[in-house]
Structure 1
Amino acid sequence: MEREIGTGEAINGGTWGTLAVGAPFMADGAPEATIDKSEALRTAIEALRRNLSWLANNLGSIEHSVETECSGLTLRLHYPSFRQRKPMMAELIDAVSLHVINFCLPRHQVNELQTLYGQLPADEFMKRHELLRQEAYDLFKRAHRATNRNGEAGELILYLLTEWLLDAPQIIAKMGLKTNRDMAVHGADGVHVRFCSDTGRLFVYWGEAKLYKDIGGAITAAVESIAESLTDEKLKHEITLVKRYLNLSDMSEGARGALLEMLDPFGPGYANRHDIVTCLIAFDFDAYDAVLGASEDAEELFRARALARLDEVAPRIATALKGKSLAHQPVELFLIPVPSVDRMRELFQDKIGWTSAPAAASGPKVSNVERN
């Protein structure tokens, strides 16, 4: 099975080139206009790629050779990094929370602040950055309440993993759309793109994130969501949102046009658009407690147990996908066993200032003075 991992790795007979999006790029005999558009978009999107390799300090990766009967499925196994035999859950949440601005807010809004760096007094710039961060936190909370969620970090972690490991930047910030009551946008948690210059294919990544105590329930819920997200009706709606709210306002006209051509069902490059699902499943894993008192290296022992767990659940994931006729659908599945999804959720809620809806007051509060 060919995997879509790093730049330069083989996929479907081609290799990943530098990130560019547009009409098919043919090395020989390509129309000059097509080459110009592809080059314009390649340059524009390359500027969006960020170095997120620092995430490896907080989120460990486990290499494996586990395969399934689903040719399109790529299994990825991660976990909170260890320090002194314990997983660094709080540090992981602290790290990913730093990127809530980029995840939630339109790119032009972030860029406007970045252009002021060095032009404003340090105190003024820090104040504006803090205001932007609070705006992102507030937007995140409003969007989750509007979609009946409870302030989970899963979609933010998936956003970072997709940019880090798949080199696919986000092209639409959906948080602002989810707070619009007149707009039905309860679809993908994130939308990212990547382009293979050798094959001329545009890969659009549609994100789903699930945090469940039980991995069995998570698999069922995730596959249900994946199947629903890939229906013609859902994809058509998502593509409409992307075209309308494309989060690349600083792109040149040629670059933007090249991307839109591949999203237009009547465009010359539309057949080269390939849909890939990215899915994050975080679940409770009791091996953390088991390795804490072991005499061996706790992290290495944990990694061995996590691999055994992956080997156990992989066939169940494949069975669920086949049950929805998704055996050949490309799916990048990130599995993250954690000590407690409830604790993970609580840490992130504390970070963004999440509180439950306040209960209705029974009457005016009486001061201590009035009681005396």
Structure 2
Amino acid sequence: MTTDTKASPLFDLDKYLSAARDKYDKCLDVVEHKEIISGINVTTRLHHLKFNGNCQPAIDVLTGYLYGRIIDYCLAMKNRPALMTSEEAAMFTKEAKRLFINPTPKPDDPDKTGEAGEILLYFLLETVLGAPQIVAKMDLKTNPKLESHGSDGIHMKWNEPESMVDLYFGESKLYQDVGQAMTAALASIRDFHDKDIFQHECKMVTKHFKYAQPQIQHAVAELFDSGKPGIGVRVNHACLIGYNWAEYGKLPSLAQQKLTEDFRARYLADAPRLHQLLQTRFDTWSKKNLRFEVFFLPFPTVQNFRDAFNKELT
């Protein structure tokens, strides 16, 4: 297999990252915690919005950065020039904007954030995990008014300590209620495996690989055998759990630094509740071989985030 040689392009997957870590650092942060999920391999991260100089959550800063990445997120590099003139950048930005929709919420899936949550998960996977997007699913839409099916993103990175390629399938759920978001995310992942979506998405990796360079495309193709991951690939699910958090309305009037300290203390105090909610769902989870990366991210309201991102698209 290609990974047996140190000349493998897979070792340099991180060079395909398009979202910059310094952008993450300007609007988001993470709270260290000690809680764990037992019985399955799950890594949880307590992310949160930073506060701006006027002590407001930096939603506009975040959505501005997300908007700045819509060409990379939406359009495969093989379908656009690596270096663009200002006219080309304007043209491809317009094309990327056209692919976004405002989904209609359904009774069994009230997530009204839709693709705003998906591009946020892309941003986290690239900046936090260092796993570049390898399929631009938005680019595969045959009808821009339809939602993309399957996972909410496909990313990959080389795990040097374990000499393994980690393949990540994204699942973004931004609900008013955090427990409902968890339940919906795991239900989607269960269907992903039970309804043969998994093998279809694996075939997409080789058929619709995002980058034009033949060496990396060939190296990735060698990782799959008849549409299934080979022995050098580990399957992970990356879940964004966004939710409304009432504590935003209880914060005292403090200067920015003190307000941040107070917020982070409240968030850390809520960590046991979040993990217990997640633990109860994994206690009845049958697919114990899968690995999970869970990004928690509370908002004043998820609708605020959706509205701010849609404003960027107008």
Aligned residue type for 1:108: K
Q: Is the 8 A contact 1:155 1:209 kept in 2?
A: yes
Q: Is the 8 A contact 1:76 1:333 kept in 2?
A: yes
Q: Which residue of 1 aligns with 2:66?
A: 96
Q: Which residue of 2 aligns with 1:322?
A: 283
Aligned equivalents of 1:266 and 1:187: distance in 2? 16
Q: In the TM superposition, what is the alpha-carbon distance from 1:67 to its structure 2 partner?
A: 1.2
Aligned residue type for 1:102: D
Q: In the TM superposition, what is the alpha-carbon distance from 1:230 to its structure 2 partner?
A: 3.1
Deviation track 1:180-200 (CA, whole Å, cap 9, x = no partner) reads 59x996101100111224543
Q: In the TM superposition, what is the alpha-carbon distance from 1:292 to its structure 2 partner?
A: 3.7
Correspondent of 2:9 among 17, 41, 51: 41
Q: Which residue of 2 aligns with 1:274?
A: 234
Report which stretch shifted further, 298-307 or 133-142.
133-142
User: Which residues of 2 match residues 15-54 of structure 1 at below 5 A?
Assistant: 23-25=2-4, 35=5, 39-42=7-10, 45-50=13-18, 51-54=20-23
Deviation track 1:224-249 (CA, whole Å, cap 9, x = no partner) reads 11222233712111111222111121
Q: In the TM superposition, what is the alpha-carbon distance from 1:52 to its structure 2 partner?
A: 2.3
Give yes or no for the alignment of 1:170 onto 2:133: yes
Q: Which residue of 1 aligns with 2:56?
A: 86
Q: In the TM superposition, what is the alpha-carbon distance from 1:322 to its structure 2 partner?
A: 2.6
Structure showing greater radius of gyration is 1
Q: In the TM superposition, what is the alpha-carbon distance from 1:256 to its structure 2 partner?
A: 2.6
RMSD of aligned C-alpha atoms?
A: 2.7
Q: In the TM superposition, what is the alpha-carbon distance from 1:63 to its structure 2 partner?
A: 1.4
Q: Is the 8 A contact 1:172 1:190 kept in 2?
A: yes
Q: In the TM superposition, what is the alpha-carbon distance from 1:302 to its structure 2 partner?
A: 0.8
Q: Secondary structure in 1 aligned to 2:251?
A: helix
Rate the CA distance shift 1:303–1:345 in 2: closer, same or farther, 3 A: same
Q: Is the 8 A contact 1:288 1:339 kept in 2?
A: yes
Q: Is the 8 A contact 1:140 1:151 kept in 2?
A: no
Correspondent of 2:214 among 230, 251, 260: 251
Deviation track 1:253-304 (CA, whole Å, cap 9, x = no partner) reads xx4322212112499x812221000010110011112114368921111111
Q: How many residue pairs are counted as aligned between the two chains? A: 305
Aligned equivalents of 1:280 and 1:209: distance in 2? 5
Query: Identity of aligned pairs, percent?
Result: 27
Deviation track 1:159-191 (CA, whole Å, cap 9, x = no partner) reads 01111111111110001223359x996101100
Rate the CA distance shift 1:171–1:241 in 2: closer, same or farther, 3 A: same
Q: In the TM superposition, what is the alpha-carbon distance from 1:53 to its structure 2 partner?
A: 2.8
TM-score, normalising length from structure 1? 0.74
Aligned equivalents of 2:101 and 2:60: distance in 1? 20
Give yes or no for the alignment of 1:139 onto 2:139: no
Aligned equivalents of 1:266 and 1:102: distance in 2? 26
Q: Is the 8 A contact 1:58 1:95 kept in 2?
A: no
Q: Is the 8 A contact 1:203 1:275 kept in 2?
A: yes
Give yes or no for the alignment of 1:161 onto 2:124: yes
Unaligned runs of 5+ in 1: 1-21, 26-34, 117-124, 354-372
TM-score, normalising length from structure 2? 0.87
Q: Which residue of 2 aligns with 1:105?
A: 75
Unaligned runs of 5+ in 2: none
Q: In the TM superposition, what is the alpha-carbon distance from 1:352 to its structure 2 partner?
A: 1.1
Aligned residue type for 2:149: H
